[in-house]
Amino acid sequence: MTTEGVVHVVDDDAAVRNSLRFLLRAAGLEAATYASAPELLSLARDLKPGCIVTDVRMPEMNGIELVRRLKEMDVRHPIIVMTGHADVPLAIEAIRAGVIDFIEKPFDDEAFLASVRAAMTQHASAAAEDAETVEIRRRLESLSQREGEVLEGLVAGKANKVIAYDLGISPRTVEVYRANVMTKMQARSLSELVRMRLLTGG
């Protein structure tokens, strides 16, 4: 088994669940199966990282409604939708609901696995970006008010002299604050500093 995450499979057909579990495990992927959308939703807050693969037409709650509910709960796992009744309106509805791929049954095993691996990679990348953003926000909070003002000037593309004039301090003092900002933010260059600030919504 790999440790890249879990593929959460939702399908009311036991034969399909078992088949997909076998396929995924044979490919070295960990799989968890659910017989209905409500079953997955009841565990949604504690889902292990990975991706979700759901059928569309199921009793109790269909796959599109499941996708919407997961979004409302801020469950960020990438979602792949399967259907044996594919049509253009349904595909559009699924994509608008936030799925990253749409697979029509019966599908080729390799195409299915490629879609799952792409989803797993996306989830891992998103998790890494989230962790980076949290760390950058922590560094931003360590800046003094004046250092924060100098940072905003730098991000706006202003020269040291302009920042100094705006803040009513000397260019030399701006240089000192700028050096402090670079150190506290752990930025190796101005471009990296700007990227960090923009990553946090600046």
Residues 60-116: tens digit of each pLDDT: 898 889 999 998 998 889 999 988 766 557 767 777 778 888 888 888 899 899 989
- DSSP annotation string for 136-201: HHHHHHTS-HHHHHHHHHHHTT--HHHHHHHHTS-HHHHHHHHHHHHHHHT-SSHHHHHHHHHHTT
The closest of 177, 173, 183 to 150, measured between CA atoms, is 177
For 38, residues 6+ apart whose C-beta sits below 8 A from its C-beta are: 60, 61
Question: So what's the pLDDT on residue 1?
Answer: 40
Characterise 159 by phi-psi region: left (phi > 0), alpha (psi -120 to 50), beta (else): beta
Show me where the domains of the chain are located.
6-130, 142-199
Q: Which stretches does DSSP call E strand in 39-163?
A: 50-55, 79-83, 101-104
Q: What is the mean pLDDT of residues 132-138?
A: 85
Rounded to 5 degrees, φ, ψ at 63 are: -65, -35
What is the pLDDT, as a whole number, of residue 160?
A: 93
Q: Which of 9-13, 21-25, 116-120, 167-171 has the lowest mean pLDDT?
A: 116-120
Mean pLDDT of 142-157: 92
Q: Average pLDDT for residues 136-162, to the nearest whole number?
A: 92
Under CATH, what is the fold of the domain 6-130?
Rossmann fold (3.40.50)
- Give the integer Cα–Cα distance in Å for 11 and 173: 64
pLDDT at 2: 43
What CATH number does domain 142-199 carry, 3.40.50.300, 1.10.10.10, 3.40.50.80, 1.20.1440.60? 1.10.10.10
Highest mean pLDDT among 12-16, 56-60, 130-134: 12-16
Residue 156 has pLDDT above 60, yes or no: yes
Fill in the DSSP letter of residue 28: T
Which residues neighbour 5 within 8 Å (Cβ) at sequence distance 6 or greater?
30, 48, 49, 50, 51, 120, 123, 124
Average pLDDT, the chain: 87
